[in-house]
């Protein structure tokens, strides 16, 4: 998946949800969804990340059946229509298993393989690339709200060291289940189980995670930390801030950025990479 030269890959977010914080409900019809994915590829997406459950604060937990009904038909069609890797954004092992069977080649787990006890096994058997995001395991009994996917806000003495330590736990889990080193990608989990200040510090120091020896995915597109840095702007006014974060990620040699607005971020990344003599 990795290019010969240094290049920050662009992962385009394709939400098949009615309630995602940025584009919830925008793409519900299968034809519209495929059209949107094709446009993202045309705009510069190197990967399409398909998600069937929103993880925004306050969103409802989606049942396994509903999530499968949302994402599997889309993945089956996408692999016929676009020539880039398809990622499944889920913390549910059965969704991941069926998504890979349908053609997805990346499992993107916001739970870091810790939320569903079967996820490491599914990852190991799938042969897929896996993205392990840092999060804190929440109270899974609270199934009526986002606490089922987003851990409690936590204060960290050293946020980078703690994220490294807890990502190492996730890495060990999946390696024991058969995932090879060359298939592991890590994500610091900006916006998950961290205060705004710690999110920003983690963004500033994200390149330190390379010490773990794995490619990094940075997902900050239109998130609250960007809004905070812009003086409290709402989600629809965070495009420029997201593009700035993408440029910073390129300067830090981050391997993947996950974004809603592919065209603007891909163009900015392309210029940054050339200015830095990466391509």
Q: Which residues are catalytic?
A: 223, 258
Cα distance between residue 73 and residue 92, in whole Å: 17
Coil, helix or strand at residue 101: helix
Is residue 172 a contact partner of residue 115, using CB atoms and an 8 Å limit? no
Cα distance between residue 90 and residue 110, in whole Å: 7
Is residue 173 a contact partner of residue 113, using CB atoms and an 8 Å limit? yes
Cα distance between residue 119 and residue 112, in whole Å: 9
CA angle 11-13-14, nearest 5°?
Answer: 130
The backbone torsions φ and ψ at residue 78, rounded to the nearest 5 degrees and listed phi first, read -60, -40
List Cα–Cα distances, 209 to 163, 165, 186, 200, in angstroms. Answer: 8, 10, 8, 15
List Cα–Cα distances, 158 to 103, 196, 201, 268, in angstroms. Answer: 39, 14, 10, 31
Cα distance between residue 136 and residue 154, in whole Å: 8
CA angle 40-14-21, nearest 5°?
Answer: 120
β-partners of residue 87 are 49, 106
Is residue 48 a contact partner of residue 12, using CB atoms and an 8 Å limit? yes
């Amino acid at each position: 998946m990795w290019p010969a030269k240094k290049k920050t890959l662009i992962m385009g977010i394709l939400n098949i949800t009615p309630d995602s914080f940025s584009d919830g409900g925008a793409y519900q019809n299968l034809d519209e969804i495929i059209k949107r994915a094709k446009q993202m590829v045309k705009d510069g997406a190197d990967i399409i990340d398909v998600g069937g459950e929103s993880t925004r604060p306050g969103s409802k937990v989606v049942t396994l059946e509903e999530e499968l009904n949302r994402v599997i038909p889309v993945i089956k069609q996408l692999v016929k229509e676009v020539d880039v890797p398809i990622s499944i954004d889920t913390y549910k092992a059965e969704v991941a298993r069926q998504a890979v069977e349908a053609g997805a080649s990346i499992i993107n787990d916001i739970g870091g393989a810790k939320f569903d006890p079967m996820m490491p096994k599914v990852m190991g058997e799938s042969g897929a690339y896996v993205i392990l995001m840092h999060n804190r395991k929440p109270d899974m009994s609270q199934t009526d709200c986002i606490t089922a996917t987003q851990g409690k806000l936590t204060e960290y003495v050293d946020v980078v060291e703690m994220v490294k330590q807890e990502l190492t736990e996730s890495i060990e889990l999946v390696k024991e289940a058969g995932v090879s080193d060359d298939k592991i990608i890590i994500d610091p989990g900006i916006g998950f189980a961290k205060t705004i200040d710690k999110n920003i510090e983690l963004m500033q120091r994200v390149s330190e995670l390379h010490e773990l020896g794995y490619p990094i995915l940075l997902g900050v597109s239109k998130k609250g930390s960007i809004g905070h840095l812009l003086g409290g702007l709402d989600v629809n006014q965070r495009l420029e801030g997201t593009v700035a974060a993408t440029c910073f990620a390129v300067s830090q040699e981050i391997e993947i950025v996950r974004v809603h607005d592919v065209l603007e971020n891909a163009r900015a990344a392309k210029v940054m990479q050339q200015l830095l003599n990466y391509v």
